[in-house]
Amino acid sequence: MLMCRDLAEIASDFIDGELSGRQNLTVKMHLMMCKDCRTFIGNLRASSNLLSAHSSGRVDEAFLRRIDERVAKALRARPSDSGNSNDTP
Ligand SMILES: [Zn+2]
């Protein structure tokens, strides 16, 4: 069984699609059960997208932190279970 710590180690490979089919499945199953890791992967994916879009070779740490804050904010602001039950059958 995959632990959060294990997932963190292979998270970037998961995002890059470099895991084997079996590993990929294990990660996905963990993500289904673990909200923390979903958030983690979401953050990582967002920053890796931004980084590859801006890949100039050097990474500014303040810039990275700003991305992180934005992602965290966006995740928090996402209207998931905030009253309007439109998508519940
Ligand atoms: Zn986890």
- Average pLDDT for the chain: 83
In one letter, which amino acid is 23?
Answer: Q
Share of residues in the chain with pLDDT > 70 (%)? 79
How far apart are the CA of 56 and the centre of ligand 1, in A?
Answer: 32
Token pair in block for residue 84:
């309007």
**Is 88 inside any structural domain?**
no
* Owner of token pair 């959060």: 4
Token pair in block for residue 14:
């998961």
Q: Rounded to whole angstroms, how far apart are CA atoms 16 and 1?
A: 22
Range of the domain at 66: 4-77
How far apart are the CA of 83 and the centre of ligand 1, in A?
Answer: 27
**Is 86 inside any structural domain?**
no
**Is 82 inside any structural domain?**
no
How far apart are the CA of 58 and the centre of ligand 1, in A?
Answer: 30
Burial of 58 (0-12, 13-18, 19+ CB in 10 A): exposed
**Is 83 inside any structural domain?**
no
In one letter, which amino acid is 27?
Answer: V
**Is 11 inside any structural domain?**
yes
- pLDDT for the residue numbered 1: 80
Q: What is the mean pLDDT of residues 4-18?
A: 92
* Total domains in the fold of the chain: 1
pTM (two decimals):
0.56
How far apart are the CA of 53 and the centre of ligand 1, in A?
Answer: 28
pLDDT in tens, 54-88: 665 566 777 778 888 888 888 888 766 655 556 65
